[in-house]
A and B are shown apart, each in its own frame.
Chain A
Amino acid sequence: MKKESKKNDFQLSPEEMEILKKYKKRSFLAETWRGLRKNKGAVIGLIIIALIAFVAIFADLLYDYEEVVIMPDYSATLMSPSLEHPLGTDEFGRDVLARIVHGARLSMEIALLSTAFSLSVGGIIGAYSGYLGGKFDAIVMRIMDIFLAIPNMLLALAIVAALGPNLFNLILAIAISDVPRFARILRSTVLSIKDSEYIEASKAAGARTTTIVFREIIPNCIAPIIVQASIVMAAAIIIAASLSFIGLGVQPPAPEWGAMLSSGRSYMREYNYLVLFPGLAIVITVLAFNLLGDGLRDALDPRLKR
């Protein structure tokens, strides 16, 4: 042991400054990226999602919503893919690519909003349940179990059927059906963290309850939440498409992918691209979210790194 350490003034020496600068803390994002980079599937997923998000954000610049996406053009109905219409046109003569691009915006909106809602509601319920335990936990979790016993799709269907089919109700329906999922995940995470030794260590160091919740518990919940969120978003896109397909989701003429599939169904034999391309859009997007979710699960677990 070096005795020079017994200095009592706490000023950093130049060498120590140097050390602090050299071994800087790596940020959460940088760390995650480092882990994610190794997983090819996740990187591909991330690129696809970035592309879709980009297209969704700038959809209006690419194709005018009113003119191209909604307005029928009876002079150009059911045209096969060509240079002018790379993915062909539908039965009203609207460009399929334009509709898929604007459909991406809708899908992303639904996925993001419904997940944000279910995450915040489910997260709070789950966190409280886990932290408080006892009767509150027992009652709340049994209610969640009841919800979980009903298939997601069926639950969403029932809610939309009750409230009426429109975009807002669709988002709400999907969100509600996902609440128990987040509640479960958060509860089990909080439970495992709550009794861990580092919480005790923090208590011994003099931490108050709020400090423990915000500094110890929440940061350790982020990883499973992000992973779950990416998977739930994929599921949300599927449910939205399915509900729209059976006419209970987004209503025509809005270019929702599921709705496009539904209307293309009647022309499937001769004009298969009408179902092929929206179908592909759904598959690729869902796959991308799932790939990313899997990659994140590994990248965010500090114990798996090295």
Chain B
Amino acid sequence: MSQPLLEVKNLVKYFKTKSGMLHAVDDISFSIDEGKTLGIVGESGCGKSTTGRCILRLHEPTSGQVLFNGQDITKLNQNELREVRKDMQIVFQDPYASLNPRKTVSELIGEPMRLHGMFSSRLERDAKVLRLMDIVGLAPRFVNSYPHELDGGRRQRIGIARALALNPKFIVCDEPVSALDVSIQAQILNLLKELQNEFGITYIFITHDLSVVNYFSDDILVMYLGKMMELAPSETLFANPMHPYTKALLSAIPIPSLHNRPERILLRGEITSPINPPAGCRFAPRCDYCKDICTKVTPDFHKVDTDHYVACHLYS
């Protein structure tokens, strides 16, 4: 088998807080092949966004490796990192916060090209900006509008055009549609899919919305409080979820149909604190199948079937 485009090995990110170490990302490993999409799902505070930012080194990982095309990103110096970032981009969740309010659309989209000196003249860059706007479906008349003059969907298109500007191989999509209305959401999801088909881009798709991730991803990684719970191809995960958390999460999806409604599994309580978490399975306090061992020993993330991995004592 050929080398995966991105390989994350034992990624750890702790944040120091007043009350102790916040275990945002705790020992995450996965790999993605070129042209594929990995969905990372989980609820707020599960570390999915931090994982995405660590991969791009927008956060410095506490430990672990991020291999992009076989090159360990965590070891690069600033200049080497700049080069690699041409190939790795990010689309942010909030199209309001991620665009500098003092820049026009053409400055925003043109910025990555300017920074990397892609074009010698301003006119060439403008031409490319217009091409990009066309690709993401932004009318050319917005070329010198400011982001605050546009609605959320158009702003998100700016974010995507900007990420595409350097012809990246890989894009982290951090909840790119959760701030948008459903009809606009679908427009953006379709756009991202078309771009993948046309340019062969590899995605990490971070979201809390399981129906979106199912539509979008080849593989899905379920995270809970910084830990990997389950990793499997989308179809397998939805057909045969193994981890009790995945099961509860899947059953909680509000389904817009009156038929085929699954039995709800209501979880007890709420997410516990990620600061200095105790040993054992992070999900144990809310788990209906919790055994003695679950509160004492952290379960291994192990293979249970082809391409299907789970971290749960029920399966060891």
Query: How far is B127's CA from A208's CA once the two chains are assembled, in angstroms?
Result: 25
A206 touches B194 (CB 8 A): no
Closest-by-CB residue of B relative to A26 is B144
Query: How far is B254's CA from A115's CA once the two chains are assembled, in angstroms?
Result: 58
A233 CB to nearest chain B CB (Å): 24
Query: How far is B108's CA from A216's CA once the two chains are assembled, in angstroms?
Result: 11
B92 CB contact (under 8 Å) in A1, A5, A16, A197? A197
Query: How far is B130's CA from A7's CA once the two chains are assembled, in angstroms?
Result: 12
- Which of A120-128, A284-292, A298-306 participates in binding chain B? A298-306
Residue A269 is within 8 A (CB to CB) of chain B in the complex: no
A201 CB contact (under 8 Å) in B99, B116, B131, B145? B99
A247 CB to nearest chain B CB (Å): 46
Residue A262 is within 8 A (CB to CB) of chain B in the complex: no
Query: How far is B158's CA from A201's CA once the two chains are assembled, in angstroms?
Result: 12
Q: Report if A303-B98 is in contact (Cβ < 8 Å); known contacts: A201-B92, A204-B89.
A: no
B127 touches A16 (CB 8 A): yes
Interface size class of A (residues with CB under 8 A): 35 or more
Query: How far is B126's CA from A19's CA once the two chains are assembled, in angstroms?
Result: 11
Residues of B106-124 whose CB lies within 8 A of A: 106, 111-112, 115-116, 119, 123-124
B162 touches A205 (CB 8 A): yes
Query: How far is B124's CA from A12's CA once the two chains are assembled, in angstroms?
Result: 7
Residues of A181-228 whose CB lies within 8 A of B: 196-198, 200-208, 211, 216, 219-220
Closest-by-CB residue of B relative to A5 is B134
Query: How far is B142's CA from A20's CA once the two chains are assembled, in angstroms?
Result: 10
- Which of B25-33, B61-69, B78-86, B291-299 participates in binding chain A? B78-86
Residues of A1-55 whose CB lies within 8 A of B: 1-2, 5, 7, 10-12, 16, 19-20, 22-26
Q: Report if A211-B115 is in contact (Cβ < 8 Å); known contacts: A5-B135, A12-B126.
A: yes
Residues of B67-103 whose CB lies within 8 A of A: 78, 82, 85-86, 88-90, 92, 94, 97-102
Residue B146 is within 8 A (CB to CB) of chain A in the complex: yes
Residue B58 is within 8 A (CB to CB) of chain A in the complex: yes
A200 touches B101 (CB 8 A): no
Query: How far is B190's CA from A181's CA once the two chains are assembled, in angstroms?
Result: 50
Interface flags, B127-159, vs A, CB<8A=1, else 0: 110110011010011111110110000000001
Residue B104 is within 8 A (CB to CB) of chain A in the complex: yes
A206 touches B98 (CB 8 A): no
Query: How far is B106's CA from A19's CA once the two chains are assembled, in angstroms?
Result: 12
Please indicate the chain A residues that have their CB under 8 angstroms from the CB of B130 in the complex: 12, 16, 19-20
A79 CB to nearest chain B CB (Å): 55
Q: Report if A302-B134 is in contact (Cβ < 8 Å); known contacts: A20-B143, A208-B78.
A: no
Query: How far is B99's CA from A11's CA once the two chains are assembled, in angstroms?
Result: 27
Closest-by-CB residue of B relative to A204 is B90
A220 touches B112 (CB 8 A): no
Query: How far is B119's CA from A43's CA once the two chains are assembled, in angstroms?
Result: 43
Please indicate the chain B residues that have their CB under 8 angstroms from the CB of A25 in the complex: 104, 106, 144
A200 touches B111 (CB 8 A): no
B100 touches A216 (CB 8 A): yes
B100 CB contact (under 8 Å) in A11, A211, A220, A303? A220
B101 touches A23 (CB 8 A): no
Query: How far is B104's CA from A196's CA once the two chains are assembled, in angstroms?
Result: 18
In the complex, besides A205-B89, A206-B82, 13 extra interface pairs with C-beta distance below 8 angstroms are A12-B127, A16-B130, A23-B142, A23-B143, A200-B58, A201-B90, A201-B162, A204-B88, A205-B115, A205-B165, A219-B100, A219-B102, A303-B101
